[in-house]
Chains A and B, each alone.
Chain A
Amino acid sequence: MRNSPRPLWNPYVAGVLLGLGLLATFLVTGNGYGVTGATTLATAAVAGKVDPNTVAAHTYLHNLFEVGLNRWVVWEVVGLAIGGLIGSVLAGRFKLQIDGPTQAGRSLRLILAVIGGIVAGFGARLALGCTSGMGLSGSATLAAAGFLFLIGFFIAGAVFGQLTKGLWK
């Protein structure tokens, strides 16, 4: 293991490569990248096993439970996870740790991560997509919805970024 991790890529270089990967994804599948499509299918699959009432007829998750996990977006998120692992290991950035707000203690960091995830998970269902599926892939087709999403995302993020500023410093 090397001591110091490799530097991050230049953001424009990363952006061009990400754009080419996204373009290839459109040409191959007709869809862009997405993430919460897969987390929602996974939630439906787990919830349906634990408590069938959560996926009963007329619930939002009903059809998603029926669809199952053998979907392109689920495989794509499996690939995303493998790619993240390969990237962090090769760059010397893999490290078991609790990241998060530097000024907060461990338990507060974990609590904030769960709360942030809950709000984001709910928001992704409202918008029918997350930063990847709606913000990035939607905007790449020049969809008005993608840019509307990004405006809401950045304004709310900036406001709450100011409110939580003291935690990160």
Chain B
Amino acid sequence: MSFPLGYTGPVSGIILGLIFGYILENAGFGSGCKLTAQLRFKDWAVFKVMFTAILVSAGGLYLLQGLGLIAVDNMFIPSVMLWGTTLGGVGIGIGMAVGGYCPGTSIVALMSGKIDGLLFLLGIGIGTLGFNSVFSSIESWAWKQTGPDGLTLPQLLHLPAWAVWGLLFAILVIVGYLTRTGTPVHKASNKSSGAFAPQNS
């Protein structure tokens, strides 16, 4: 058996996607309040969930590579496009602060009954068409690749993968310790509870 297995049909997509959506919903990521509370530093769940997932997945991939079972190079590793990657991240950050979601979480929100999730999703379609209409004038600089194909942090920092993983793990432990209350601040506040009442009614 060699990895990746290459199962890229509908059944593989639906099962793996279903797991993804079920976890995002139960993490609370179908709620714009919960997601944007991270951007206001009131609730660190988004950071904790994402960073833990990155560490588990990266740890698994590089461990399996160390055991000789897979080659991470055989997986899709995105390349750096200095302007496109950075500005794209900026756009999605702004989109979340303004609209409450990112693309995946807007779908989870929609499937939890949230109309604004549907409108965010329609906005993504409009934004995609907007990109299509200006594509020819920005393609040359926005998608200009920096560095080699699939540049990784271990290559960039000249460190072994386990050392990079250890640094990222240390960041999670430190941030997790500093934000360890676990209870979202806005729920503990009496003053803001009234603002939430209409949602819960």
A interface residues with partner B (beta carbon < 8 Å): 8-12, 14-33, 35-36, 39-40, 42-43, 46-47, 54, 58-61, 70, 72-88, 91, 93-103, 109-110, 112-132, 134-165, 168-169
B interface residues with partner A (beta carbon < 8 Å): 3-28, 30-34, 36-41, 44-45, 48-62, 64, 70, 72, 74-117, 119-132, 135-136, 138-139, 142-143, 147, 150-156, 161, 164-165, 176, 182, 186, 192, 195-196, 198-199
Hey, which chain A residues are within 8 Å of B98, CB to CB?
112, 115-116, 119, 160, 164
Whether A140 contacts B54 in the complex (CB less than 8 A), given A84-B21, A156-B94, comes out as yes
Nearest A-chain residue to B54, judged by Cβ: A139
Hey, which chain A residues are within 8 Å of B55, CB to CB?
15, 19
A142 touching B81, Cβ below 8 Å:
no
Whether A122 contacts B20 in the complex (CB less than 8 A), given A11-B45, A99-B109, A113-B99, comes out as no
B17 touching A124, Cβ below 8 Å:
no
Whether A98 contacts B114 in the complex (CB less than 8 A), given A11-B45, A74-B13, comes out as yes
Partner of A81, one of B21, B36, B51: B21
List, sorted by A's number, 29 A–B pairs whose CB atoms are closer than 8 Å. A9-B27, A14-B49, A18-B49, A19-B52, A19-B57, A22-B56, A32-B57, A80-B24, A81-B17, A83-B21, A83-B22, A84-B25, A88-B25, A93-B25, A99-B100, A99-B114, A112-B116, A114-B122, A116-B98, A117-B124, A117-B127, A119-B92, A120-B91, A121-B103, A123-B94, A128-B85, A135-B92, A157-B39, A160-B98
* Distance from B174 Cβ to chain A, minimum over Cβ atoms (Å): 14
Alpha-carbon separation in the docked complex, A42 to B38 (Å): 30
Main secondary structure of the interface of A (DSSP, over half): helix
Alpha-carbon separation in the docked complex, A163 to B40 (Å): 10
